[in-house]
Structure 1
Amino acid sequence: MRVVLVEDLYLLREGLTHLLTAHGFEVVSAVETGPELLTAVEEHRPDVAIVDVRLPPTFTDEGLQAAHEARRRIPGLPVLVLSQHVEQLYARELLADGSGAIGYLLKDRVFNATQFVDALRRVAEGGTAMDPEVISKLVESNAHQEPLGTLTAREREVLELMAEGCSNAAVSHRLYISEGAVSKHIASVFTKLNLTNSNDTNRRVLAVLAYLNSANLD
């Protein structure tokens, strides 16, 4: 799997490169600015891009804007964004196009190599990988909004874990319920969100996007 990485901190950039290489990824380009990211993705057409939110020169949202532009130039480009802190507005902006293949993790997650690599693979395969701390912030603001307000408490729990990128088996393990029960809850979520005319993978992504985009983050 081919990766383009943009991170302005040299030690973190090198550390990520070594970590990814050790787990079988090919880092085709590791750069430190937004413009360099755009050049790299157009040249290499990677399977996934890893982008730091805050990049030179102002260290505000240059990485986020570069990620948007990269996905505009290469529609559907999977992007995993790394941030030092939970930035709810950034999460909403990332999900605005509704196409999936997006991840948003706090940089602390990088230190758990297994968790980080699993999240990267999910994003590269077209899914979502949202940091649990981001999810918890969104839960506080969207629980009563339609159509999510029609979900039961258990269905919301299942959907939150889906947003983190959990498989049915992982949801079963986290909630101490059977996989059969998980499947029933997910089917109910799909029905209540009117996601009935697509395959299960697409419906899973669409359900997560509906959940995350419903939050009042402004």
Structure 2
Amino acid sequence: MRIVIAEDQVLLRDGLVRLLESAGHVVVARVGDARALVEQVNAHRPDLLLADVRMPPTHTDDGARAAACLRERFPRLAVLVLSQAVEPSLVAGLANGRVTAFGYLLKDRVLDTAAFLDAVATVGAGGTVIDPTVFAGPAPGAPVALTGREAEVLGRVAAGRSNAGIAADLVISKRTVEAHLRVIVDKLGIDAGPEDNQRVLAVLTWFAGRT
């Protein structure tokens, strides 16, 4: 997979390059600011963009805003964002109603290189990987309030986990996971047809309430 890395911390950026190249990926560009990020994605048209949220020139959300614009310009571009903090409204804005080929990970919670490489592969293949903590906590802008357990379940749905996988992660039964999902769907007021995916609609509806 051809990847552009946008990270202003030199040591972290170089470490990501070595890790990704050791896994067989090709890093076509590495940059340290949002302007160069846009330029290099335009120049190389990579398969995946790995970007930090906060980058120069303002060190606020420059990386995130650049990634959002590039996602809109290049619909096939997979984007995996790294952040220092949980910012649900930022995730919602980045997703913009489309959670395919999209990921949002917290730097402090990426503790395993194999899991990180799995996330890169999942997002690059069109999947979704979102840290479950994004769905936890108060949601002042959301249409409903989810319980802590419901937030954990929905977070793992967004991360692409199956019901069996969610059950294993949370040490609960598969039937309990299914019950939580039914409650979540009811709370979010989702009226899905036979051809709709309730799981995806639940994630998108939740995001819509955070913008």
| Coarse TM-score class (shorter-chain normalised) | 0.7 to 0.9
What are the within-5 Å matches in structure 2 for residues 92-171 of structure 1? 92-95=92-95, 97-100=96-99, 101-137=101-137, 140-141=138-139, 145=143, 157-171=152-166
* TM-score, normalised relative to structure 1: 0.78
* TM-score, normalised relative to structure 2: 0.80
Deviation at 1:185, TM superposition (A): 6.0
Q: Is the alpha carbon distance of 1:117 and 1:4 closer, same or farther for their aligned partners in structure 2, counting shifts above 3 Å?
A: same
The gaps in structure 2 that reach 5 residues or longer are none
Do structure 1's residue 195 and structure 2's residue 211 form an aligned pair? no
Deviation at 1:64, TM superposition (A): 1.0
Structure that is richer in helix per residue: 1
Report % sequence identity. 43
Q: Residue 13 of structure 1 corresponds to which residue in structure 2?
A: 13
Between Structure 1 and Structure 2, how many residues are aligned? 208
The gaps in structure 1 that reach 5 residues or longer are none
RMSD: 3.0
Q: Is the alpha carbon distance of 1:50 and 1:71 closer, same or farther for their aligned partners in structure 2, counting shifts above 3 Å?
A: same
C-alpha separation in 2, matches of 1:27 and 1:195: 41
The alignment partner of 2:24 has SS state of coil
- The range that moved more, 188-197 or 15-24, is 188-197
C-alpha separation in 1, matches of 2:52 and 2:141: 29
Q: Is the alpha carbon distance of 1:181 and 1:69 closer, same or farther for their aligned partners in structure 2, counting shifts above 3 Å?
A: same
The alignment partner of 2:91 has SS state of helix
C-alpha separation in 1, matches of 2:201 and 2:43: 30
C-alpha separation in 1, matches of 2:117 and 2:164: 18
